[in-house]
Amino acid sequence: MKADDAATQAGPAAAPAPPAPPAPRADWAYFVDLDGTLLDIAPSPADVHLDEEVQTLLTELSEFAGGAVALISGRSISDIGSLISEPCLPIAGQHGLERRDATGRITAHEEQSNGLERAAGRLEREVRKYSGLLLEQKGLSLALHYRAVPELAGHVHTVMRRLCAELGPEYVLQEGKRVVELKPAGKDKGVAVQEFMREPPFRGRTPVFLGDDATDEYAFAVVNEENGISIKVGPGKTGARFRLKDVRAVRRWLDTR
């Protein structure tokens, strides 16, 4: 068999992996996810701690970029604030449902019903029924984690889809790494990037987003539209233009400024 015939039978070649990003620049605006990007994922969100290396990295990156650095995470702002030592660092929490801008002003999505309260009661019963499930109540959203029991993935997704359908179009599901989150519609990490980019010190800069999860694809799409630097951390299909291998690679890259 000829080589070209064998290649034809093997099917189309896989798309090339995204390349490593260019070196950081001082005139960029940096948006960074936490878990799986700056920090290794732990068995539960409560097991994560920011080490001194990350604290220093965030401080130095903010100074380098003139303050144009924000954390954009599924965690709540209060949760992130308990981890970091930078009290004025801009943050978008709960996938953009709440946001602290560069002036320290906090804005939050207003839930229009008591849907989350009802949903929490249902999910608490699921947690009691299945050992290993973890319900995280963030205030504006609910996350059902199955990191400890990945065999329950199908059940968790089914329960969350049914619950979201019952609550109606005011709510949506956000899927992540062994977690499904129920939240009000209308906000995501991409929207958070857009909101920051309309404000100083981010306005007029090239946006950069680093993230590892499906929740970060919204931000990648926004950054790509602005011809920015979208960086996927770790393996998996992505719309990002660049890739870094893991958390350690992210830290090394940010430290090359």
Q: Which of 4, 5, 33, 47 is catalytic?
A: 33
Task: Judge if 55 and 119 occupy the same domain.
Answer: no
CA 52-21-220 angle, to 5 degrees, is 90
Within-domain flag for 71: yes
Q: What is the pLDDT of residues 108-137, one digit of tens each?
A: 887 655 788 889 989 999 999 999 999 988
CATH of the domain at 198: 3.40.50.1000
Within-domain flag for 15: no
Q: Rg of the chain over CA atoms, in angstroms? A: 19
Within-domain flag for 94: yes
Confidence of residue 4 (pLDDT cuts 50, 70, 90): very low
The domain in which residue 194 lies consists of 28-109+187-254
Query: What CA–CA distance (Å, rounded) separates 32 from 91?
Result: 10
Is 188 part of the annotated catalytic residue set? no
The sign of the CA dihedral 24, 27, 32, 38 is: positive
Confidence of residue 11 (pLDDT cuts 50, 70, 90): very low
Task: Judge if 32 and 92 occupy the same domain.
Answer: yes
